[in-house]
Amino acid sequence: MTLLRSLLWVSLLCLGTSLFAQFAQAQSELSRLLPNIAAGDVVEGATGFGRVHDDLPVVQVLRDQEQIGWAFITSDFVSTTGYSGKPIHTMVAVDDAAQVIGVQLVKHYEPIVLIGIPDAKVKALVANYRGLDLVAEAESGGTSHELDIISGATVTIMVIDDSIIRAGLKVARQLGLGGLAVEVETGPRFEIDPDAAAADDWMTLEGDGTLRRLSLDVGQVNAAFAAMDDPRAEDRALTEAPETTFIEMHATLISHPAIAEALLGEARAANLQEWLDEGDHAVAIFGRGLYSFKGSGYVRGGIFDRIVLIQDDISVRFRDRMHQRINGIAAEGAPQFNEADLFKIPADSGFDPTEPFRIQLLVQREVGAIEKIFTTFDLGYRLPDQYLRSIAPPTAPEVPASVTNVTTQSESQAHQALWKRIWADKTTEIIVLGVMLILLTAVFFFQNIATRNERVFFWFRMSFLTVVLVYLGWYANAQLSVVNLIALFNSLTEGFSWQAFLLDPLTFILWFSVAAALLFWGRGAYCGWLCPFGALQELLNQIARALRIPQWTLPWGLNERLWPVKYMIFLGLFGVSLMSIEQAEKLAEVEPFKTAIILNFVRAWPFVAYAAALLIAGLFVERFFCRYLCPLGAALAIPARLRMFDWLKRYHECGNPCQTCAHQCPVQAIHPTGEINPNECINCLHCQVLYQSTAQCPVVIKKIKRRAKVGAAPDLSRDISGHPNQPKTHPAT
Ligand code: SF4
Ligand code: SF4
C-alpha cells in the first residue's frame, strides 16, 4: 500500500513537473524577460513599454505615452542557437517603417566569446543596428549593412545578426510595418450591393431570408429556466399555457437601401439613410408576444439591456441615442407587432454587414425581491446573397521575394543557410587550415624523412607554430577549449544538433581532425602542432633559450606527481558541468586561451596577469601549463590510450644507458627507463631527430664508427626488440 502511494506521488510529481515545463515553454520569452528590461536601455529616449500585442509576443515602446515602435525578443520568432547551443535572447525595437530603433542583448550563454569582451564593444555593436532598414536588408540579401565583427565573437555576432534580421522581418510582416503585409485574403470577398432589389411583401421577405425570426413559446422559456438547476426559477414559472407566444422577434439589416424601402417605405428609408453616418449600419427588430425585447430599463439607464448584437468578438449594445421607433411597416402582409424599432450600429464598432451576426435576447425572471436570473436566446442573421456582390480582392502590397524567402523559410532551412554563409565567409581560413593539416599529416607519415635534417626540421617546426599562433590563433581564433567538450556533452544530454557546431567551421574541422589524429598519434597531433597557446608557450621558450634564460628540469618524481593535476582540473570541471554549465564555463577560465589568444590580452588585468604568469613559468619550464594544468590536454590524453600505432622509434639502448632523449624531451615525457609516456608526449618529434642524429645519438655514432670500419652506411631504420615502446610482436634482431 505504501509502495502504491509512493508510486502515485511520484507519478503526480512527474505529471506536475511536465505540466509546469509545458506551461513554461508556452510562455513567451518576452513575458519572461520584459520585467527586467528598461525601455530606455533599448531605445534612446523611450520612457516605457505599453501593452503587449494580443496575438504576437511584441510590446509597444512608448515615449511620453506615445507609441514609437514595437519591441520583441528574437528567440520568440527564430530558433537560431549560438555557439553555446542555446538561444541568444536579443530585444529588438522596430518602428512603423520597419527600421530598427534599438537593440539590446538581454540574455545569452555564449561562454567562450562574450565573457570578457568589453562592454563598450558590445554597445557599439548594438548601436550599429540603429536605423537599419529591415526591408532593404532582405532585398539586398543581407549586404545593406556592415557587420561589426568583434574579434573572438564572430559566430555569436553572426547569429545575433541573423536573428535580428529574420525575427525583425517576421514581426514587420505580421504587423504590416514598412509597407509589408502578410494577410492577403485569397477567398471571395463581398460588399453590399446598393442596386439589389427586395420583395415588397412580408412573406417573401421572410421566405428569402431577408427577415429572420426567433419564436419562443411559454413552454420553451419555462423549460429553459427549469434546466438552470435553480428551483426558485421553476417555482416562478410562467403560468400561461405552454403554447402561448412568449416572444416572436424578427430582425433584418435595414441599412440595406432596398430592404429599408420595402419595410419602411421610400420616404422613411431616405430618413434612415440621413440618420446614419458614413459606415454606420442598422438593424430593424420587430416583436410581439408576452415579452418585450426592449424592456423598460433603457428609459432609466439609457441602454437596451435585453438585446445585444454579436459578431465574432464584436458586441454592440444599443443606447437610446442609437434607437428610433418604426411607425408603420410598408411591406404588404406584415403582421401586427407590439414593438418595431431601428437600432444603429456605429461604423467604429467594426461590424461587417456581409458577415453573419446574431441578436442575443436576454430573458430574465425575478426569483426574489430584488434578485433576477437570466437566460439567453439567439436570433441568427446573415444577409442573403442577393444583397451582396463580390469584389476583387485587394491587391496585396508588393512584398519583395527576398523578404518572403526570409519570412517563409523553415527554421532548419534558415539554420542551414546561416552556417553555409559562415562557411563561405571563411573559405580562405578553411583552405589554409586544410593545407596545414595535409602538411602535418605528411610530416607524421614521413617522419623519418622530415626529421633527418635537424636544422631544417627545427625551422620548419618554428615556422609552423608561428602560423598556428598568428594565423589560426590570433587572426582566425581557431583555439579549441575544454568548453567545447562541455558544450558537446551538454548537447548530447539535451538533444544533439549539428547546428551549433557547424557555426564555427575552423573549430569543427579541428575537432574532427583531432578525433581522427587521436587514434593515430594521441594528443600530440593537436598539442604539439595545432594549439595556438601551446605554440605561444613554445615560441616564447625558444626565445628565452636564445636569451640564455636558465631552463629548470624538475626532478622526475615531482614531474610525475604534478601530471595528475591537469586530470583533476578536467574532472572537476566536468563534474561542475553536470550541475551547472554556466559555472563550469566560468571555471574553465583556468584555460588562459581566451585572454591570450581570443582577446589578444585586451582584458581585465587579473586575467592578463594569470596568462602572463603561466607564460613566464613557461620561460623556465617549457610548456609548464601543458604539462601540469591544461584540462584540454588532459581530456585529449585520456583517449590517447586508444591510439593504434607507435610511431616514435626507439633503440634498445634508449633509457638504458642513454638518457639523451629523456633529457632533451621538452615536456619530460620520457621515463628514465626509456619509455615514452603517450599521455604526456606532444609529438614534437625532437626525439626522432635525435634518433637519427649523427652528432648526438650514441647508438648512431657507434654504428657509424662500426660501418666506417667495414665501409657501409648505418641502417637507421633498424628496429629494436624488447624496448618498452616497441610492439612485442617484433622479432628480435
Ligand atoms: S596541453 Fe593544452 S595548452 Fe598545451 S598544447 Fe595541449 S591543449 Fe594546448
Ligand atoms: S621529444 Fe619525443 S617523447 Fe618528447 S614530446 Fe617530443 S616526440 Fe614526445
Confidence tier at 720 by pLDDT (50, 70, 90): very low
Give the residue ranges of DSSP H helices in 107-227.
Answer: 119-127, 134-139, 154-175, 202-207, 218-226
CB 683 near ligand 2, within 6 Å: yes
Q: Which ligand is nearest to the Cα of residue 472, counting in written order?
A: 1
* Residues pairing with 654 in the sheet: 658
Lowest mean pLDDT among 94-103, 648-657, 688-697, 719-728: 719-728
Query: Nearest 5°: phi and psi at 669?
Result: -95, 0
Query: Nearest 5°: phi and psi at 550?
Result: -60, 140
| 360-399: pLDDT as tens digits | 999 988 887 777 888 889 999 999 999 998 887 666 566 6
Give the ligand 1 atom nearest the CA of 630: 2
- What is the CA(422)–ligand 1 centre distance, in A? 27
pLDDT, residue 22, reads 41
Q: What percent of the chain has pLDDT over 70?
A: 84
CA distance 515 to 519: 7
CB 686 near ligand 2, within 6 Å: yes
Q: Is the pLDDT confidence value at 598 over 90?
A: no
Residue nearest to atom 7 of ligand 1 (CA): 633
Give the residue-averaged pLDDT of 425-450. 94
Residues in the chain: 733
| 548-570: pLDDT as tens digits | 999 999 999 999 999 999 999 99
Q: Quick count: other Cβ atoms within 10 Å of Cβ 496?
A: 13
Query: What does DSSP assign to residue 562?
Result: H
What is the identity of the amino acid at 729? T
- CB within 8 Å of 356: residues ≥ 6 apart: 311, 380, 381, 382
Say if strands 189-192 and 245-253 run parallel, antiparallel, or are unpaired.
unpaired
Q: Which ligand is nearest to the Cα of residue 686, counting in written order?
A: 2
Confidence tier at 288 by pLDDT (50, 70, 90): very high
Higher pLDDT, 700 or 727: 700
CB 682 near ligand 2, within 6 Å: yes
pLDDT, residue 281, reads 95
Q: Is the pLDDT confidence value at 253 over 90?
A: yes
CB 669 near ligand 2, within 6 Å: yes
CB 667 near ligand 2, within 6 Å: yes
DSSP run (H or E) holding 649: none
Q: Which ligand is nearest to the Cα of residue 688, counting in written order?
A: 2
Give the ligand 1 atom nearest the CA of 535: 5
Give the residue-averaged pLDDT of 627-651. 87
Q: Is the pLDDT confidence value at 730 over 60?
A: no
Lowest mean pLDDT among 59-73, 228-242, 607-621: 228-242
Confidence tier at 28 by pLDDT (50, 70, 90): confident
CA distance 655 to 672: 6
Residues of 26-58 as b/e, b for ≥16 C-beta within 10 angstroms? eebbbebbbeebebeebbeebeebbebbeebbb
Lowest mean pLDDT among 119-133, 417-431, 526-540: 119-133
DSSP run (H or E) holding 190: strand 189-192
Q: Is the pLDDT confidence value at 543 over 70?
A: yes
Q: Cell 567551421: give the residue.
A: 505
* Residues pairing with 372 in the sheet: 366
Q: Is the pLDDT confidence value at 2 over 60?
A: no
CA distance 651 to 543: 31
pLDDT, residue 438, reads 96
| 106-122: pLDDT as tens digits | 877 766 555 566 666 76
- What is the CA(651)–ligand 2 centre distance, in A? 14
pLDDT, residue 661, reads 94
Q: Which ligand is nearest to the Cα of residue 444, counting in written order?
A: 2
Q: Cell 601540469: give the residue.
A: 628
- What is the CA(696)–ligand 1 centre distance, in A? 29
Give the ligand 1 atom nearest the CA of 523: 6
Q: Cell 503587449: give the residue.
A: 52
CB 503 near ligand 1, within 6 Å: no
Give the ligand 2 atom nearest the CA of 667: 5
CB 527 near ligand 1, within 6 Å: yes
| 143-176: pLDDT as tens digits | 556 666 665 666 777 778 888 888 888 888 888 8
Q: Is the pLDDT confidence value at 619 over 70?
A: yes
pLDDT, residue 218, reads 93
Q: Which ligand is nearest to the Cα of residue 530, counting in written order?
A: 1
| Structural contact between residues 136 and 165, judged by C-beta atoms closer than 8 angstroms | no
CB 114 near ligand 2, within 6 Å: no
pLDDT, residue 88, reads 82
CA distance 435 to 518: 19
- What is the CA(440)–ligand 1 centre distance, in A? 17
CB 633 near ligand 1, within 6 Å: yes
pLDDT, residue 175, reads 85
| 185-214: pLDDT as tens digits | 555 678 889 899 999 999 999 999 999 999
Q: Comparing C-alpha atoms, which of 353, 357, 342 is closest to residue 271? A: 342
Query: In degrees, to the nearest 5, what angle opens at C-alpha 364 toward C-alphas 358 and 369?
Result: 160
Q: Comparing C-alpha atoms, which of 253, 246, 263, 372 is closest to residue 316? A: 253
| 65-91: pLDDT as tens digits | 889 999 999 989 887 776 666 778 889
Rg (alpha carbons) of the chain, rounded to whole number: 42
CB 662 near ligand 2, within 6 Å: no
Higher pLDDT, 12 or 66: 66
Q: Is the pLDDT confidence value at 402 over 80?
A: no
Confidence tier at 24 by pLDDT (50, 70, 90): very low
Q: Which ligand is nearest to the Cα of residue 668, counting in written order?
A: 2
CA distance 435 to 252: 83
- What is the CA(598)–ligand 1 centre distance, in A? 15
CB 533 near ligand 1, within 6 Å: yes
CB 658 near ligand 1, within 6 Å: no
| Structural contact between residues 387 and 192, judged by C-beta atoms closer than 8 angstroms | yes
| Structural contact between residues 631 and 613, judged by C-beta atoms closer than 8 angstroms | no
Higher pLDDT, 503 or 307: 307
Q: Comparing C-alpha atoms, which of 41, 37, 79, 86 is closest to residue 59? A: 37
* Residues pairing with 434 in the sheet: none
Residue nearest to atom 2 of ligand 2 (CA): 687
Give the ligand 1 atom nearest the CA of 634: 1
What is the identity of the amino acid at 32? R
Q: State how far Cα 245 lies from the chain centre.
A: 63
Q: Comparing C-alpha atoms, which of 404, 397, 406 is closest to residue 180? A: 397
pLDDT, residue 225, reads 86
Q: Is the pLDDT confidence value at 693 over 80?
A: yes
Q: Comparing C-alpha atoms, which of 321, 329, 256 is closest to residue 286? A: 329
pLDDT, residue 708, reads 80
The residue whose CB lies within 8 Å of the most ligand 2 atoms, and thus the one to mutate among 537, 654, 670, is 670
- What is the CA(465)–ligand 2 centre distance, in A? 16
Higher pLDDT, 228 or 401: 228
Q: Is the pLDDT confidence value at 320 over 80?
A: yes
Q: Is the pLDDT confidence value at 8 over 50?
A: no
CB 525 near ligand 2, within 6 Å: no
Q: What are the angstrom distances between the C-alpha of 217 and each of 241, 247, 248, 624, 712?
A: 9, 7, 8, 99, 127
Higher pLDDT, 9 or 595: 595
- What is the CA(445)–ligand 1 centre distance, in A? 22
Give the residue-averaged pLDDT of 631-637. 94
- What is the CA(527)–ligand 1 centre distance, in A? 5
Q: Is the pLDDT confidence value at 614 over 90?
A: yes
CB 590 near ligand 2, within 6 Å: no
CB 443 near ligand 2, within 6 Å: no
Higher pLDDT, 56 or 645: 56
Give the ligand 2 atom nearest the CA of 690: 1
Q: Is the pLDDT confidence value at 400 over 80?
A: no
